[in-house]
């Protein structure tokens, strides 16, 4: 089993645009314990069919969807529940790359994935990217591949997949593929996540930002090399020096995001509340996972939050072998 943890953009600056339309970013991504879970089971190839070939009619991968949001993906249509799901796409891409380097096992067993989808879909916390990264990690172990291969495949699956492969605090630059280790973060940070149930499509938000003239020019951001000792210090620094440039365009498209932020800012012990990624999930920083639980309890009694998804807890720190360290 691999955990596919929610990615939170503590800040997200859009710093330019490439000729192909992709935007240049500067973002500090962290990962919470809120996660999807991906399971892999291998089934021996049927004797009669001989060695399995990834381009044969019989696909070597299957996917079963469960969890709170599994149905949401099923409702998006057959494609996203099937071949277009990022888990299966990641499996196909890695199999192809491993085939090219001669690393793919000859007698390929059938791979049955089960995705317990508990993160909201299209919500700015990179759930699909995290699922793809989890599939890469599981298959790399299953097929005993060199870790470099998944690092090579990750950016082909989406701008957020490389950072989700690392799944640890990381500064992202370029379009998301230039990764460097984040400065030290406070040891026991708490986080409350809230999604108001509105799916926000990432391309539409980037398009709206560009249509509005793009982000204001700013000087390159310098992160304190010694990091932040306290959540208060981190929150103060984020508040003073950073924003999420996609927050305005996302609120214009889904005004309920502003309601989420307003309510979060009224909760006890909140140090900072902001939107993650292209939305609509918003996060609040707190001194500890326990403080986050208390704030979640207070949120739950708010009438408007009755239908909202929320989660409270801490940050994840998983040791992964994913090739070069960020």
Ligand X SMILES: C[C@@](CO)(OP(=O)(O)O)[C@H](O)COP(=O)(O)OP(=O)(O)OC[C@H]1O[C@@H](n2ccc(N)nc2=O)[C@H](O)[C@@H]1O
Ligand Y SMILES: Nc1ncnc2c1ncn2[C@@H]1O[C@H](COP(=O)(O)OP(=O)(O)O)[C@@H](O)[C@H]1O
Does the active-site annotation cover 7? yes
- Burial level of 259, CB count in 10 A (0-12/13-18/19+)? middle
Q: Which residue from 209, 27, 210, 41 is spatially nearest to 126, judged by alpha carbons?
A: 27
Residue 39 interacting entry, from ligand X, ligand Y, none, C-beta within 5 to 8 Å by type: none
Interface ranges with ligand Y (CB under 6 A): 73, 76, 80, 85-87, 121-129, 131, 160, 202, 277-278
Residue 176 interacting entry, from ligand X, ligand Y, none, C-beta within 5 to 8 Å by type: ligand X
Q: Tell me: does residue 278 bind ligand X (CB under 6 A).
A: yes
Does the active-site annotation cover 78? no
SS3 of the chain: helix, strand, coil, percent, to 5: 35, 25, 40
Q: Tell me: does residue 22 bind ligand X (CB under 6 A).
A: yes
The C-alpha atoms of residue 64 and residue 71 are separated, in whole angstroms, by 11
Q: Tell me: does residue 126 bind ligand X (CB under 6 A).
A: yes
Backbone torsions φ then ψ of 3, nearest 5 degrees: -85, 135
Q: Tell me: does residue 277 bind ligand X (CB under 6 A).
A: yes
200 is an annotated ligand-binding site residue: no
CB of 36 to ligand Y, least distance (A): 7
The C-alpha atoms of residue 201 and residue 205 are separated, in whole angstroms, by 7
112 is an annotated ligand-binding site residue: no
Q: Where are the alpha helices (DSSP H) in 43-174?
A: 70-75, 78-81, 86-101, 127-142, 147-157, 161-166
SS3 196: coil
Q: Choose, from 7, 72, 89, 117, the residue flagged as catalytic.
A: 7
Closest residue to ligand Y: CB criterion: 128
Per the annotation, binding residues for ATP are: 120-130
Applying CB under 6 A, which residues contact ligand X?
9, 12, 22-23, 25, 27, 124-126, 129, 158-160, 175-176, 202-203, 206, 277-278
């Amino acid at each position: 089993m691999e955990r596919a943890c929610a990615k939170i953009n503590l800040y997200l600056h859009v710093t330019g645009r490439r000729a192909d339309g992709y935007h240049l970013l500067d973002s500090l991504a962290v990962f919470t314990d809120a996660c999807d879970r991906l399971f892999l089971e291998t089934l021996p190839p049927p004797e009669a069919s001989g060695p399995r070939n990834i381009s044969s009619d019989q696909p070597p991968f299957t996917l079963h969807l469960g969890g709170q949001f599994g149905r949401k993906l099923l409702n998006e249509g057959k494609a996203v529940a099937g071949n277009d799901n990022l888990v299966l796409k990641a499996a196909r891409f890695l199999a192809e790359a491993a085939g090219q380097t001669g690393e793919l096992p000859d007698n390929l067993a059938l791979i049955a994935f089960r995705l317990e989808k508990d993160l909201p879909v299209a919500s700015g916390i990179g759930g699909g990217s995290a699922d793809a990264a989890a599939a890469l990690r599981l298959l790399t172990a299953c097929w005993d591949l060199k870790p470099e291969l998944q690092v090579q495949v990750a950016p082909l699956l989406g701008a957020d997949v490389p950072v989700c492969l690392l799944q640890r605090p990381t500064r992202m630059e370029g379009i998301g593929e230039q990764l460097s280790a984040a400065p030290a973060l406070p040891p026991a940070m708490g986080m409350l996540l809230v999604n108001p149930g509105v799916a926000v499509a990432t391309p539409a938000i980037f398009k709206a930002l560009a249509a509005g003239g793009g982000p204001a020019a700013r000087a390159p951001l310098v992160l304190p090399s010694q990091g932040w000792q306290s959540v208060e210090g981190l929150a103060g620094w984020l508040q003073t020096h950073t924003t999420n440039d996609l927050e305005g365009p996302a609120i214009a498209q889904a005004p309920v995001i502003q309601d989420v932020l307003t309510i979060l800012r009224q909760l006890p012990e909140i140090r900072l509340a902001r939107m993650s990624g292209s939305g609509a999930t918003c996060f609040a920083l707190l001194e500890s996972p326990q403080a986050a639980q208390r704030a979640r309890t207070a949120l739950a009694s708010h009438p408007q939050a009755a239908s909202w998804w929320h989660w409270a807890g801490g940050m994840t720190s998983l040791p992964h072998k994913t090739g070069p360290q960020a």
